[in-house]
Amino acid sequence: MSAPPFSSRALFRVIHAGAMTSLQDRGRPGLKACGIPCGGAMDLNSINRLNQMFDQESDLACWEMLWASLQAECLGDCVIAYAGDAQGYVNECAVAAERTITMRCGDRLRFQARGQSLWTYLGVGGGWHGPQWFGSQSVWPDGGMGRLLRDGDILSAAGAPAWQLPEGVSARFLRAENSMRNSHFRVFKGPQWLAFPEAARESFFQSPWRISEQSNRAGFRLEGPALSVPEKQWISEPIVVGSIQVPANGQPIVLLNDGPTVGGYAKIAVLHPDDLNRFRQFPPGCLITFSLLS
């Protein structure tokens, strides 16, 4: 294996890592047959948009922060950008999301969650340095692929020389997207749709569902009226991200990035792929509804 053309550059020393901060890219699609979930960013659209500002590959890894509270000291000049609901600060001055931010050695970077969405992303011009597993930098601690960020860690750029804004450009901005607050989601019929009683199918669509605090990157649990589940035992089958399974307690679980690759619970529906990024940003306590696509 040939050596990379440049070595990594230390850019930040982590003062406070915050909750579940990890490096994530598009993940590892196509490896479920090996028992490896897709993983990757919970809001891949945010990563794509950040990388767009740096004219680099759309799915380069970014630091993903849950209820962002990362604090770090800059160790080397660089250009960063963040996306998400959190408010960013440089030397305690507020800086806007989805615009490039020039950092100087000694600057302090801090994020404060505002509670409207779960995940915030931090990108850097040139990309972040980090190990790869099966062609992806996405961290999956349960599978032995990396760990969450810790206080005292060093964040490094993927290589040198440092990425710079084009001459005469002080900052780049992204055009604002539509609001994420639409709490209605489209689904297709699941593999066991017809096995559910008609009353259960109707209740699934007529009821608002509350996202439970018992949710994580593997899946979001929903709370609402208990659905009647089929009595039949199902043979385990492959699961796609967005599958909505209903265990014996009748409370649906939306299976997500780090969820199981196979499962035997009946699946009443599957989230539309175009709604996944928005769905995964909704925090616990939010009420959501579903509608069926033919």
Instruction: State which of 157, 174, 204 marks the end of a domain.
Output: 157
What pLDDT does residue 266 have? 96
Q: Flag whether pLDDT at 7 surpasses 70.
A: no
Whole-angstrom distance, CA of residue 103 vs CA of residue 13 = 13
Residue 173 lies in a domain: no
pLDDT tens digits along 89-98: 999 999 999 9
Read off the amino acid at residue 274: D
Residue 171 lies in a domain: no
Task: State whether 140 and 189 are in the same domain.
Answer: no
Cα dihedral across residues 108, 140, 19, 26: positive or negative: positive
Task: State whether 126 and 202 are in the same domain.
Answer: no
Residue 174 lies in a domain: no
Task: State whether 49 and 120 are in the same domain.
Answer: yes
Residue 230 sits in a domain whose CATH number is: 2.40.100.10
Task: State whether 40 and 147 are in the same domain.
Answer: yes
- Domain housing 109: 9-157
Task: State whether 151 and 200 are in the same domain.
Answer: no
Number of domain units in the chain: 2
Q: Flag whether pLDDT at 75 surpasses 50.
A: yes
Residue 152 lies in a domain: yes
What pLDDT does residue 275 have? 97
Residue 177 lies in a domain: no
Task: State whether 132 and 215 are in the same domain.
Answer: no
Task: State whether 68 and 116 are in the same domain.
Answer: yes
Task: State whether 69 and 22 are in the same domain.
Answer: yes
Task: State whether 151 and 205 are in the same domain.
Answer: no
Q: What predicted TM-score, i.e. pTM, was given to this entire model? A: 0.94
Task: State whether 79 and 196 are in the same domain.
Answer: no
Task: State whether 227 and 288 are in the same domain.
Answer: yes
What is the total residue count of the chain?
294
Residue 266 lies in a domain: yes
pLDDT tens digits along 241-277: 999 999 999 999 999 999 999 988 999 999 999 999 9
Give me the percent of the chain exceeding a pLDDT of 70.
Answer: 96
In the chain, where do the E strands start and end?
9-16, 19-24, 62-66, 71-74, 78-83, 87-90, 93-95, 101-103, 108-112, 119-124, 154-157, 184-189, 209-211, 219-223, 237-238, 243-246, 253-255, 262-263, 266-271, 287-292
Task: State whether 13 and 153 are in the same domain.
Answer: yes
Instruction: State which of 115, 140, 157 marks the end of a domain.
Output: 157
